[in-house]
Chain A
């Protein structure tokens, strides 16, 4: 009986509490907001890979730097589109003034449109959506990264040599762009650079390691490795090291890990190209939007940067938030 009574009390308190909540809500809403700091929310697709872990760390740092002016909350969707949609919907209940979002995929299109239609600025970080209903998209330029990496490799080889390319996830935008940029440059500017090996290793160190080990058993002749990310460059360099093969040029992309910079300093990797984190710029734009600035370009490209033995130490000093 005791339990039943408790249950009944609980049930009865539901509508009462509900009304109470509503009443206080309407009473307060006119008085409070001006005193409260505007809320900026950030929805992250996942925090699993090193690049996104640094992305998150930089976002937190940028939010803390503006902590006097804004309230900030972030949430991560563990790589699940539906979870991210639900999280954005939940964020909406808190009346945010700006939504920063790194969408999992085009699945987030509808909910971003919904937010935008409510008059809340939507700042896309990295990936895009299939709609024009967003304020701006801040991202690195993967095609340009491909071009610069290709040029760097060709120059290191004095314009003549053979390259093995380790590609990321098949048909992913980043993969296609990093590949196309490189192929264009070699085709147009360096007629004596040839691609002799080509494999998709899904951006994974383990897969690149396995593939390169198997590939080396065929005693291939090549001068350089271009990997679409650092994890795969590390995997390839591990295979080379195991076979005691030196003197190859190994170039990756991302520059978000301490390990990569260490390997550049030790000579296992030759260079990497920064895939820039949109966190800092994203927060900067959020602050501009809060100040009422209107002239935000629809697309903001972030510059890449070469990191090799000549500037590795400086890069470390400039980027304290690198992943381990």
Chain B
């Protein structure tokens, strides 16, 4: 295989399963069940945003060989905080900045614990997952609502494209440039490739780790803004198991949980794949419990396709 094609495939690993899905959708296209319409694009674009944004942050963490299980709980904390700020009457931009900062702080704490203690990231973020869910309920035991329309700018459309989708694509593009073109990006891949080798090559391993968890936190902050916009409330019990959707998107996108391999574009495609799958299941009228059951093997097959590609 010639080099450019190989390189292209490596860049966009998530594409293979997505193409398969689209092919299947095309085969089953009918007048009653139409996947190929603009409405579908709008739907998926709006629906993929929250978990897609979280998955971009997760990609950074996974590239270093880490994992962040706390993102769902963190998203709930930030949503409730944001909703409380909204009820208190703050302007939207202040709320948005506050939510991003809240996410960054919580992510940084995760990162510091990962970088400076011998405890594994899985355990650290498992602990934050539990504590942050408790924190969300302590901040508010009930859903926080009562600010209709305040977050509408994050629900609007620009030239017919949902703003959430534009933000997601913008985030992916930024993350792509950071990972591929900057020193920091090389550090992230280096830490994930081999921590020991990275340390010998004067890569600042600890600060890189703090940084990736902070980035994950900021992404959670952005995702929480989009979630509050979508639901017009802050829900302490919300965003349950979003960490699993994010991790699934990252691995379908071709990343290795061992670290060092993967790309944000792959993650974006992985997220779109997951959301398209969910939508298709409903369009085809597959019973919801059966759809849930099928999700597992489909994820495994999708990941298998990626691994075959990597060899």
Taken residue by residue from 162 to 200, chain A's Cβ proximity to chain B (1 for < 8 Å, 0 otherwise) reads as 000000001110000000000000000000000000000
Q: A80 and B26 in contact (CB under 8 A), knowing A7-B19, A24-B31, A107-B231?
A: no
A284 at the interface (CB under 8 A from B): no
B142 at the interface (CB under 8 A from A): yes
B148 at the interface (CB under 8 A from A): yes
Q: Chain A contacts of B43 at CB under 8 A?
A: 86, 89-90, 93
Q: Is the CB of B9 within 8 A of A4?
A: yes
Complex Cα distance A73/B5, Å? Answer: 44
Q: Chain A contacts of B39 at CB under 8 A?
A: 92-93
Q: Is the CB of A110 within 8 A of B232?
A: yes
A158 at the interface (CB under 8 A from B): no
B130 at the interface (CB under 8 A from A): no
Q: Chain B contacts of A74 at CB under 8 A?
A: 288
Complex Cα distance A272/B237, Å? Answer: 29
A18 at the interface (CB under 8 A from B): yes
Closest to A19 in B: B36
Complex Cα distance A106/B232, Å? Answer: 8
Which listed residue, A17, A75, A107, A171, touches B29 by the CB 8 Å rule?
Answer: A17
Interface centre among A24, A74, A89, A92 (most CB of B within 10 A): A89
Complex Cα distance A110/B230, Å? Answer: 8
Q: Is the CB of B143 within 8 A of A10?
A: no
B137 CB, nearest partner CB in chain A, Å: 11
Tell me the number of A-to-B contacts counted with CB atoms below 8 Å: 134
Taken residue by residue from 307 to 319, chain A's Cβ proximity to chain B (1 for < 8 Å, 0 otherwise) reads as 0000000000000
Q: Is the CB of A10 within 8 A of B22?
A: yes
Taken residue by residue from 42 to 59, chain A's Cβ proximity to chain B (1 for < 8 Å, 0 otherwise) reads as 000000000000000000
Q: How many residues on chain A are close to B (CB under 8 Å)?
A: 46
**Prevailing SS type, chain B contact patch:** helix
Q: Is the CB of A107 within 8 A of B36?
A: no
Q: A81 and B31 in contact (CB under 8 A), knowing A86-B47, A89-B47?
A: no
A25 at the interface (CB under 8 A from B): yes
Q: Is the CB of B23 within 8 A of A10?
A: yes
Complex Cα distance A311/B136, Å? Answer: 45
Q: Is the CB of B288 within 8 A of A20?
A: no
B196 at the interface (CB under 8 A from A): no
B279 at the interface (CB under 8 A from A): yes
Which listed residue, B240, B275, B282, B309, touches A91 by the CB 8 Å rule?
Answer: B282
Which listed residue, B16, B23, B33, B233, touches A107 by the CB 8 Å rule?
Answer: B233
A321 at the interface (CB under 8 A from B): no
Which listed residue, A17, A21, A80, A90, touches B279 by the CB 8 Å rule?
Answer: A90
Q: Among the listed stretches A28-36, A144-152, A242-250, which one makes contact with chain B, having 4 or more residues with CB under 8 Å of it?
A: A28-36
A117 at the interface (CB under 8 A from B): no
B223 CB, nearest partner CB in chain A, Å: 10
Taken residue by residue from 3 to 34, chain B's Cβ proximity to chain A (1 for < 8 Å, 0 otherwise) reads as 00100010000011001101101100111111
Q: A171 and B141 in contact (CB under 8 A), knowing A93-B39, A107-B232?
A: yes
Taken residue by residue from 229 to 258, chain B's Cβ proximity to chain A (1 for < 8 Å, 0 otherwise) reads as 011110101111000000000000000000
Q: Is the CB of B19 within 8 A of A130?
A: no
Q: Chain B contacts of A258 at CB under 8 A?
A: none
Taken residue by residue from 152 to 193, chain B's Cβ proximity to chain A (1 for < 8 Å, 0 otherwise) reads as 000100000000000000000000000000000000000000
Q: Is the CB of A130 within 8 A of B15?
A: no
Complex Cα distance A28/B143, Å? Answer: 45
Q: Chain A contacts of B16 at CB under 8 A?
A: 7, 10
Tell me the A54-92 residues at the B interface (CB within 8 Å). Answer: 73-76, 79-82, 85-87, 89-92
Closest to B278 in A: A86
**Prevailing SS type, chain A contact patch:** helix
Tell me the A1-25 residues at the B interface (CB within 8 Å). Answer: 1, 3-4, 7, 10-11, 13-14, 17-18, 20-22, 24-25
Q: Chain B contacts of A29 at CB under 8 A?
A: 31
Q: Chain A contacts of B275 at CB under 8 A?
A: 86
A241 at the interface (CB under 8 A from B): no
Q: Is the CB of A22 within 8 A of B231?
A: no
Complex Cα distance A4/B207, Å? Answer: 39
B296 at the interface (CB under 8 A from A): no
Q: Is the CB of A81 within 8 A of B282?
A: no
Q: Chain A contacts of B220 at CB under 8 A?
A: none
Which listed residue, A17, A28, A85, A86, touches B36 by the CB 8 Å rule?
Answer: A17
Q: Chain B contacts of A87 at CB under 8 A?
A: 282
Q: Is the CB of B22 within 8 A of A14?
A: yes
Complex Cα distance A172/B34, Å? Answer: 40
A31 CB, nearest partner CB in chain B, Å: 9
Q: Is the CB of A171 within 8 A of B142?
A: yes
A109 at the interface (CB under 8 A from B): yes
A94 at the interface (CB under 8 A from B): yes
Q: Is the CB of B46 within 8 A of A94?
A: no
B283 at the interface (CB under 8 A from A): yes
Q: Chain A contacts of B19 at CB under 8 A?
A: 7, 10-11, 14
Q: Is the CB of A21 within 8 A of B34?
A: yes
Chain A interface residues (CB < 8 Å from chain B): 1, 3-4, 7, 10-11, 13-14, 17-18, 20-22, 24-25, 27-29, 32, 36, 73-76, 79-82, 85-87, 89-94, 105-107, 109-110, 130, 170-172
Chain B interface residues (CB < 8 Å from chain A): 1, 5, 9, 15-16, 19-20, 22-23, 25-26, 29-37, 39-40, 43, 46-47, 50, 141-143, 145, 148, 155, 227, 230-233, 235, 237-240, 275, 278-279, 282-283, 285, 288-289, 309
6 cross-chain pairs, A with B, having the tightest CB-CB distances, nearest first: A17-B26, A28-B31, A107-B231, A21-B36, A10-B19, A90-B282
- Cβ contacts A to B, 6 pairs, < 8 Å: A10-B20, A14-B26, A20-B26, A80-B238, A81-B238, A94-B33
Known: A90-B278, A93-B279, A110-B155. 4 other contacts (CB 8 A): A4-B5, A25-B34, A81-B235, A82-B50
